[in-house]
Amino acid sequence: MWNQNFMFKQDGATPLEQTENELFQAIQPTLDSTGLKGERYISVWVQGDEEQGRPILYTNVYARTAILDSDRQAGLLQPYQGRSHQIRSLLSPGQKLWIKDWLIKTSPEAWEAAEDSLKMIFEED
């Protein structure tokens, strides 16, 4: 299975260099956001089928919000959202455009083979 993570600051249009796993690796998870003061993020995972490490079909998209409080070394990762309308509402127009362009450039064949329900997540509002 092929997968790719994009980690955006909540209002950012381009992803960070770090993945979700890298950014939250050394952070203590919390059960709620009470007292957390920090950056807000959106984490997007795209999955698909692959051949020789290259995607040949994009199959799933998941997204979730996160808060990272660097001062307290604590963070909160919300549960994943997997429904198209939920993901569309989480992502900004710039984030949708960036991901769509990246997916098409990475594998035009995988984009063409993807179901319309996946493609519509990244369409303009």
| pLDDT tens sequence across 34-86 | 667 888 999 999 999 999 999 999 999 999 998 887 777 778 888 888 899 89
79 DSSP 8-state letter: P
Average pLDDT, the chain: 90
Provide the β-strand partners of residue 55.
Answer: 50
pLDDT surpasses 90 at 112: yes
Which residue has 């990272």 as its token pair? 68
Indicate whether 32 pLDDT > 80: no
Neighbours of 72 (CB within 10 A): 14
